[in-house]
């Protein structure tokens, strides 16, 4: 009788153990990060285009991290990195990025994606810049003294715009040249209200063009390439930096899943991708000398 009782109890225990093991295998909780919070300092174009709204929920769900986004001009984003006030940077001003790397404030700079800049302006194009080379387009605006709205915020777009004026041998003048001191979305709205010209990244333009009366007038020039890199803020220099979180976010952007999401983003809504995925490439692969 005792043997049957013990055998029965053993069978019940074994079944229970198997049931618990099965439940654990199916619903086992993923390992939570020790520090869940990541501060991402990035350009406004990644926010205004909607790209972060697509990427971050997936990253957070898969990793357990929570990302706080600070979207500012690239100059400000890089400064946050230099001061150890962010964990990871997603920016688009290559020369300025290299200077931050040289200080040791950031490490592991990797190419993520690119798109391009375009010049937009009134449909009647009073300066006659349509389909002109960039240098000629800027000369036409300066000679006609038609309104040009600059971001004026030390962003990657602003840095690119200033470099293009310099390359054309021109110094914009007060009066027709207006500084918005704002992000790309707000700058586009001001340019639209004033029926002026401006330089914008294509992704933000595609995301906002339905609300604009302006149109693309100059595009496709090799000098208008817009390249984005991810960099981790150096945890050896700034001890409060979430090194594991920064690495996880960078790894996600460059993973096959992250790159596919970037490559597909915008196709369903705009009929074309807003960015080209470049994980594993270098600037030289894009034709940058």
Q: What is the rounded CA–CA span in Å between residue 209 and residue 271?
A: 13
Q: Which of 170, 199, 224 is the last residue of a domain?
A: 224
What is the per-residue pLDDT for 287? Answer: 84
Contact 158, 151 (CB under 8 A): yes
For residues 33 and 37, what is the distance between their CA atoms, to the nearest angstrom? 9
- Give the domain extent around 172: 116-224
Q: Specify whether 167 is located in the same domain as 214.
A: yes
Per-residue confidence in pLDDT tens, the chain, 289 aa: 444 444 444 444 444 444 444 444 444 456 889 999 999 999 988 998 999 999 999 999 999 999 999 999 899 999 999 999 999 999 999 999 999 999 999 999 999 999 999 999 999 999 999 999 999 999 999 999 999 999 999 999 999 999 999 999 999 999 999 999 999 999 999 999 999 999 999 999 999 999 999 999 999 988 899 999 999 999 999 999 999 999 999 999 999 999 999 999 999 988 989 999 999 999 899 888 7
Same domain, 235 and 215: no
**Gap between the Cα atoms of 135 and 198, Å rounded:** 14
pLDDT at residue 29, as a whole number: 52
Domain boundary among 172, 203, 224: 224
Helical pair 94-103 and 74-82, crossing angle rounded to 10 deg: 10
Judge whether 30 lies within some domain.
Answer: no
Q: Could you tell me what percentage of the chain is helix, strand and coil, using 3-state DSSP and rounding each to the nearest 5?
A: 50, 20, 30
Q: Distance between CA 123 and CA 215 in Å, rounded?
A: 6
Please report the pLDDT score of residue 30 as a whole number.
Answer: 67
**Residue 65 sits in a domain of what CATH number?**
3.40.190.10
Within-domain flag for 15: no
Flag whether 12 is in a domain.
Answer: no
Q: Are residues 99 and 65 in the same domain?
A: yes
* Whole-number pLDDT of residue 288: 83
Number of domains in the chain: 2
- Cβ-based neighbours of 139, under 8 Å, separated by 6 or more: 168, 170
Residues 132 and 193 in one domain: yes
The predicted structure's pLDDT at residue 1: 46
């Amino acid at each position: 009788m005792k043997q049957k009782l013990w055998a029965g109890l053993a069978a019940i225990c074994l079944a229970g153990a198997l049931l618990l093991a099965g439940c654990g295998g199916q619903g086992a909780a993923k390992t939570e990060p020790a520090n869940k919070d990541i501060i991402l300092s990035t350009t406004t174009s990644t926010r205004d285009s909607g790209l972060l709204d697509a990427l971050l929920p997936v990253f957070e769900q898969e990793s357990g991290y929570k990302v706080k986004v600070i979207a500012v001009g690239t100059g400000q984003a890089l400064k946050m990195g230099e001061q150890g006030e962010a964990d990871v940077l997603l920016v688009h001003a290559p020369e300025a990025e290299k200077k931050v790397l040289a200080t040791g404030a950031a490490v592991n700079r990797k190419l993520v994606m690119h798109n391009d800049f375009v010049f937009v302006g009134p449909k009647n194009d009073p300066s006659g810049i349509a389909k002109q080379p960039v240098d000629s387009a800027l000369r036409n605006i300066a000679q006609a003294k038609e309104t040009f709205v600059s971001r004026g915020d030390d962003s990657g777009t602003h840095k690119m715009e200033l470099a293009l004026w310099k390359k054309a041998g021109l110094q914009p003048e007060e009066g027709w040249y207006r500084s918005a001191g704002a992000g790309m979305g707000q700058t586009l709205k001001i340019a639209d209200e004033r029926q002026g010209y401006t330089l914008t990244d294509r992704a933000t333009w595609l995301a906002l063009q339905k609300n604009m009366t302006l149109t693309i007038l100059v595009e496709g020039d090799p000098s208008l390439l817009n390249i984005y890199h991810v960099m981790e803020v150096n945890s050896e220099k700034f001890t409060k930096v979430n090194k594991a979180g920064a690495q996880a976010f960078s790894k996600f952007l460059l993973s096959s899943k992250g790159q596919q999401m970037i490559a597909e983003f915008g196709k369903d809504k705009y009929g074309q991708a807003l960015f080209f995925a470049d994980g594993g490439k270098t600037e030289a692969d894009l034709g940058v000398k």
